Amino acid sequence: MANKKREEEWKEVKKRCKVGDETIRMAKELGISPKTMIKNIPNKAEKWKAPVDVWIRDMYEKVKEKNAKKAKAKAKRLRKESEKSGDSSLKADDSNIPDKQD
């Protein structure tokens, strides 16, 4: 029942905001509700306000850039940690090797 109502709301958004399926997908990924999208439709007095389609795409790009930066920083941090642990394990392995005496 709730899903049916929600799908009807998304159809209304698509119609009123003049957005496509891709923009709807982006909005869902961002967690934006249909009511929020309808609420942000600019009227004639709000010329400064971007159309809903542009607004969602800009927000989506910003979030993706932010997530990419976080992932890159995390990968760099993990690489440094693995290098540190790798170096210390090599030293420990060297100490376990007995000295060769001829």
What would the two tokens of residue 20 be? Answer: 């496509």
**C-alpha distances out from residue 80 to 77, 89, 93, Å:** 5, 14, 20
What digits encode the pLDDT tens for the residues 60-82? 999 999 999 999 999 888 888 88
In the prediction, which pLDDT does 95 show? 54
Does residue 63 or residue 86 have the better pLDDT? 63
Q: What is the pLDDT of residue 43?
A: 87
What integer pLDDT is reported at residue 100 of this predicted model? Answer: 57
The whole-model pTM stands at: 0.68
Task: Please count the other Cβ atoms lying within 10 Å of the Cβ belonging to residue 28.
Answer: 12
- Predicted confidence at residue 96, as pLDDT, reads 56
pLDDT of residue 63: 94
pLDDT at 49: 87
Calculate the CA 102 to chain-centre distance.
62
pLDDT digits (tens, 9 = 90+) for 6-51: 889 999 999 998 999 999 999 999 999 999 999 998 888 888 888 9
CA 17 from chain center: how many Å?
23
Under DSSP, the state recorded for 6 is H
Say how many residues make up the chain.
102
Q: Where are the domains of the chain?
A: 2-81
